[in-house]
Amino acid sequence: MSFREIRGHEHLYRQFAQAAQSGRLGHAYLFVGPEGVGKHTFARALAKTLLCENRQANVFDACGACSACRWFEAQTHPDFHAVALPPEKHEFPIELIHEVIRLLGVKAARGQYRVVLLDDADTLNEESANAFLKTLEEPPPYSVLILLGTSPDYQLPTIRSRCQVVHFRPLPDDVVADWLRQQGLVKSQAEALRIATLAQGSLTRAQLLAQPEVWNARQKLHAMLGAGRTETVELAQTLWSFVEAAGSNTAAQRQRARLAVEFLMEPLRGALARRLGLSDPAETLAHALPKSAALAERMSVPQLLRALDRCLLADFQIDRRLQLPVILEALADSLTLL
């Protein structure tokens, strides 16, 4: 992967290219933005470019052919390290932070730079963040640390103020649609566009939505909300079986849980818009949501606002890594009692 293959973040690329040209590249970056918009890919392209040993003078991109580029692609470059939250942990272990600090401090094996990419930076706790402070204040020369998270709000001010914060925006719909086709995940351009409009600029979301099973779950949840006679237990079971089908990986389960909450919010938002005399946002999509009309008939504006509020709370709880069955059951409970 190199910068010339990345679409949708051209303005960020130009910022980095200009910074590199004028010798103003930073030592520590905090990449933030929604999941699935390409922060990781961009960070890797940046690392590969810095480590490339045959870079053209006026092009800020990796050549893709030198030994350094080949090692990078084979994940064997000695001056690049990527660390992430271990699957069974909820917070970044301090031992891993000490390892990152050590890696940034050792002399580069090849060229000049040493690059460390730290994923899941949302889960840095106070102890880990404090361990970083000295390294961020007096960074070893030619070391670059890239933290990847979803929002600067999850970082302590001490980290935020010592990093250059780079905001990644959702990808444009046409970029998502093209990607779905390139990956062979959809059968037609119409299907690609339909999924892209719902994916909120996230490839991760688009990939999930392209699975027939996920699409069916969406339809089922809409029908349950629209029917208005759904039992708490039935809704909770539908939500949980959708989440559980992701397998035992908790990150994949959380991803599905977030998506399920989003599915519930779609007709609620549509109904609220109808109640307020605005156009249903879903009608601007390729497929209108008939269920929002039924919901608008049945629920008042305060009820709809409460329901949306409950969905947002569930979303927040999913992010904070509370127990998923508990979150979903409580959500089902409050939505069916409205």
Q: Please report how close the Cβ of residue 322 comes to Zn ion at its closest, in angstroms.
A: 45
Smallest gap from residue 121 Cβ to Zn ion (A): 27
Q: Which residues contact 80 (CB under 8 A, 6 or more apart)?
A: 47, 48, 51, 72, 114, 115, 116, 117
Using only C-alpha atoms, the chain has a radius of gyration, in whole angstroms, of 22
What is the token pair recorded at 338?
Answer: 């409205």
Residue placing its CB nearer to Zn ion in the complex, 13 or 263:
13
Burial of 215 (0-12, 13-18, 19+ CB in 10 A): middle
Closest distance to Zn ion from the beta carbon of 1 (Å): 13
- CA angle 271/274/278 to nearest 5° reads 130
- Local structure of residue 139 (DSSP, 8 states): P
- CB closer to Zn ion, 56 vs 248: 56
In whole angstroms, the minimum distance from the beta carbon of 256 to Zn ion comes to: 38
Query: Nearer Cβ to Zn ion, position 21 or 219?
Result: 21
Gap between the Cα atoms of 95 and 204, Å rounded: 30
Of 68 and 198, nearer to Zn ion (C-beta) is 68
Q: Nearer Cβ to Zn ion, position 37 or 62?
A: 62
- φ, ψ at 302 (rounded to 5°): -60, -35
Least distance in angstroms from the C-beta of 41 to Zn ion: 17
Binding residues for Zn ion (CB under 5 A): 52, 54, 62-63, 66, 69
Q: What distances in angstroms separate CA 333 from CA 194, 234, 250, 256, one per listed residue?
A: 31, 10, 23, 19
Q: Identify which of residues 77 and 269 has a Cβ nearer to Zn ion in the complex.
A: 77
Q: Give the residue ranges of DSSP H helices in 138-249.
A: 157-160, 173-182, 189-198, 203-209, 212-227, 232-244
Question: Shortest distance, CB of residue 79 to Zn ion, whole angstroms?
Answer: 13
CB of 56 to Zn ion, least distance (A): 10
User: What's the first-to-final CA gap in the chain, in angstroms?
Assistant: 49
Nearest distance, CB of residue 80 and Zn ion, angstroms: 13
Q: Which of 16, 2, 119 is nearest to 70 (CA)?
A: 2
Comparing CB distances to Zn ion, the nearer of 21 and 189 is: 21
Residue 93 buriedness (CB in 10 A; 0-12 / 13-18 / 19+): middle
Instruction: Output 113 or 132, the one with its CB closest to Zn ion.
Output: 113
